[in-house]
Chains A and B, each alone.
Chain A
Amino acid sequence: MSLDLIFFLLLSLISISTALGMLLSRNAVHSALFLVLNFVTVAVFYLLLGAPFIAMAQITVYAGAIMVLFLFVIMLLGAESIAGEFNWRKAAFPGLLAAMLAVEATAIFLTRARPVGDVAQPDASVNTMTNLRALGEALFTQYLLPFEVTSILLLVAMIGAIVLVRKEKRVP
């Protein structure tokens, strides 16, 4: 067993257990913090897969911005433990279905899928700068239109959020 594989298994153990912690903890703040940890481990996976830019975007956008927004709303609403804690009896049927899904997906990927090869090792030739440059070139040439549409999407989301939480002004 190579060092890579041991590292991968250790990280995936952390990742799965933090995801389960998110699912099972009664306190919403704990759930959010577990999810932050999960996002950070996924970012480490991105680094292992030779995608440093995505890893950094993951940490800043997901673990930084999105989860801070979540924590902010949880604490604003005082929703740490109101309603809807995990109910084992209600969860039995969906849990069974999901377990079947997981077993099925795992079995298919482990047995049916052709071995498409190992993931590329982030060797010295794929350092951060060349990766970033190639990614940026692809983003601003081949994928320019989706990139611009994304900016419009973010603008629309921003306006939507402001309109939703704005106080209605009475028109006389």
Chain B
Amino acid sequence: MVPVNYYIVLSAILFTIGAVGVLTRRNALIIFMSVELMLNSANLAFVAFSSVIKSFTGQIFVFFVIAVAAAEVAVGLALIVEIFKSKRSIDVDQMSSLKG
């Protein structure tokens, strides 16, 4: 039997790697993938806890999170394509037109 703490620690590590990706990478697509990784690690924690308390609520929440992630990716990638068309770059440091 695997203690649930191990799953939570794994989830924390994956979340941290995702956070590092968002903080350090400058490629908008990689930042987006890191966000997906963070969502995924939260899902893992949900399923682990729902398995411990033997309830479906966590799994249903994960289902909704997956749906929201799909919607987010569709809109976000459309935005990235538009930004690339106008700026010829997806470096987030160059998206500073609105900076005062």
Closest to A138 in B: B56
Q: Inside 8 A of A138's CB, which chain B residues have their CB?
A: 56-57, 60
Max count, chain B CB within 10 A of own CB: residue among A2, A49, A110, A135:
A49
B residues apposed to A, CB below 8 Å: 1-10, 12-21, 23-27, 29-30, 32-34, 36-37, 40, 43-44, 47-48, 50-52, 54, 56-57, 59-60, 62-64, 66-75, 77-82, 84, 89-94
Q: In the complex the two chains form, what is the Cα distance from A169 to B60 in whole Å?
A: 42
A119–B72 alpha-carbon span in the complex (Å) = 31
Given contacts A19-B14, A22-B17, A118-B4, 16 further A-B contacts (CB under 8 A): A12-B6, A16-B14, A38-B37, A42-B40, A54-B59, A54-B63, A61-B70, A62-B40, A82-B90, A84-B26, A84-B93, A99-B16, A150-B64, A156-B71, A160-B74, A164-B79
In the complex, the answer to whether A23 meets B20 with C-beta atoms within 8 Å is yes
Residue of B nearest to A154 (CB): B71
Which residues of A have CB within 8 Å of B78?
160-161, 164-165
- With a cutoff of 8 Å between Cβ atoms, the chain B residues found around residue A117 in the complex are 3-4, 52
| CB-based contact B1/A4 at 8 Å | yes
How far is B32's CA from A120's CA once the two chains are assembled, in angstroms?
A: 33
Is the CB–CB distance between A51 and B50 below 8 Å?
yes
Q: Bits for A135-163, please: 1 = Cβ < 8 Å to B, else 0.
A: 10011000100100010011011101100
Binding site for B on A (CB under 8 A): 2, 4-5, 8, 12, 15-16, 19-20, 22-23, 28, 31-32, 35, 38-39, 42, 45-46, 48-51, 53-54, 57-58, 61-62, 65-66, 69-70, 73-74, 76-77, 79, 82-87, 90-91, 94-95, 97-99, 101-102, 105-106, 109-110, 113, 115-121, 134-135, 138-139, 143, 146, 150, 153-154, 156-158, 160-161, 164-165
CA of A15 to CA of B7, assembled, Å: 12
Given contacts A32-B33, A119-B7, contact A90 B24 (CB under 8 A): yes
A110, B3: Cα distance in complex, Å: 11
Contacts of B16 in A (CB 8 A): 98-99, 101-102, 105
